[in-house]
Amino acid sequence: MSNSLFTKDHPRYKWVALSNTTLGILMATINSSIVIISLPAIFTGIKINPLDAANVSYLLWILMGYLLVTAVLVVTFGRLGDMFGRVRIYNLGFVVFTVGSIALALNPLSGGHGAMWLIIWRFVQGIGGAMLFSNSTAIITDAFPANRRGMALGINQVAAIAGSFIGLLIGGLLANLSWHVGTLDVEWVFLVSVPVGIVGTIWSYLSLHEVGTKSAGKMDWWGNALFAIGLASLLTAITYGIQPYGDSTEGWTNPWVLTGLIGGAVVLVGFVFVELAQKSPMFEMRLFKIRAFAMAMLAGLLSSIGRGGMQFMLIIWLQGIWLPLHGVAYDQTPLMAGFAMLPITIGFLISGPLSGTISDRVGPRLFATTGLLVVAATFVLLIVLPIDFTYWQFAVITFFNGIGSGMFAAPNRAAIMNSVPANMRGSASGMAGTVQNSGTSLSMGIFFSLLIAGLSTALPKALFSGLTGQGVAADVATKVSTLPPVSSVFAAFLGYNPMDTLLGKGGMNVLSTLPEHAQKTLVGNEFFPHLISGAFHDGLVVVFIAAAAMSVVAAIASLIRGKHYVHEVHAVEESIEAHEAAVEKVSR
Q: How far apart are CA 61 and CA 25, in angstroms?
A: 22
Q: Which of 98-102, 193-197, 566-570 has the lowest mean pLDDT?
A: 566-570
Quick one: average pLDDT of 120-135?
91
- Residue 229 scores a pLDDT above 50: yes
Per this entry, what is the length of the chain? 588
Quick one: average pLDDT of 515-537?
86
The one-character DSSP state at 245 is B
The one-character DSSP state at 49 is -
Mean pLDDT, the chain, as a whole number? 81
- Using DSSP, state whether 180 is helix, strand or coil: strand
Q: Which of 82-91, 203-212, 268-277, 396-405 has the lowest mean pLDDT?
A: 203-212
Q: Looking at residue 583, what is its pLDDT?
A: 47
Question: Comparing 492 with 173, which gets the higher pLDDT?
Answer: 173
Question: Comparing 132 with 410, which gets the higher pLDDT?
Answer: 132
Query: CB count, 10 Å around CB of 195?
Result: 11
Q: Looking at residue 371, what is its pLDDT?
A: 94
Quick one: average pLDDT of 250-256?
84
pLDDT band at 316 (very low <50, low <70, confident <90, very high): confident
Q: How far apart are CA 138 and CA 214, in angstroms?
A: 11
- Residue 346 scores a pLDDT above 70: yes
Spell 372-399 as b/e; 16+ CB within 10 A means b.
bbbbbbbbebbbebebeeeeeebbebbb
Dihedral sign for Cα 110, 116, 117, 121, please. positive
Q: Looking at residue 176, what is its pLDDT?
A: 61
For 450-470, how does the pLDDT look when each residue is reduced to its tens digit (9 = 90+)?
A: 777 777 777 888 888 888 988
For 421-451, how does the pLDDT look when each residue is reduced to its tens digit (9 = 90+)?
A: 877 777 777 788 778 778 877 787 777 777 7
Among candidates 534, 535, 531, which has minimal Cα distance to 503? 531
